[in-house]
Amino acid sequence: MPESEYPPVDLETFRAVMRKAGVEEVVDATLAVYLEEAPRIFGRLSSAVASGDAGAVSSYAHSLKSSSGNIHATALSETMRRLEALGREGDLDAIRDFFPEARARFDRVMAYLRQEAR
């Protein structure tokens, strides 16, 4: 199934995991923090890509990989995992080639969360 046919964040699974852990009440707060912090981190990531700072790309991608995985934004988390690895390798050409896909996935997650996590 094409990526565009399924939600970019599996909110049902995220809620179920948190419910099972006995902390479902923090779901909305967690999503609110993500909506506030992720754009800031992505902006820094974008600046690192533009300036060719592979170490910073790796660091910011790592942060977004983890937070995106936590909320079950799996495709974005995997995309950030790849960017993190490219940053560690110092492969600036590959980072620049791959970044538009990362931006598109990030934008899709943010639009979905703004719509669904109200």
pLDDT score recorded for residue 2: 59
pLDDT attached to residue 81 = 98
- Mean pLDDT check: name the lowest of 2-11, 12-21, 109-118: 2-11
Which pair of structure tokens corresponds to residue 67?
A: 């937070």
Predicted TM-score (pTM) of this structure: 0.92
- Which residues fall within 8 angstroms of residue 45, CB to CB, at 6 or more apart? 56, 57, 60, 61, 64, 83, 102
pLDDT, tens digit, for every residue of 26-47? 999 999 999 999 999 999 999 9
Residue 1 has pLDDT above 60, yes or no: no
Amino acid at position 2, single letter: P
pLDDT tens per residue across span 78-114: 999 999 999 999 999 999 999 999 999 999 999 999 9
How many angstroms separate the CA atoms of 9 and 7, rounded? Answer: 5
Joined together, the tokens standing for residue 39 give: 């754009």
Task: Give the pLDDT score at 6.
Answer: 85
pLDDT at 118: 61
Domains along the chain with CATH numbers: 8-116 (1.20.120)
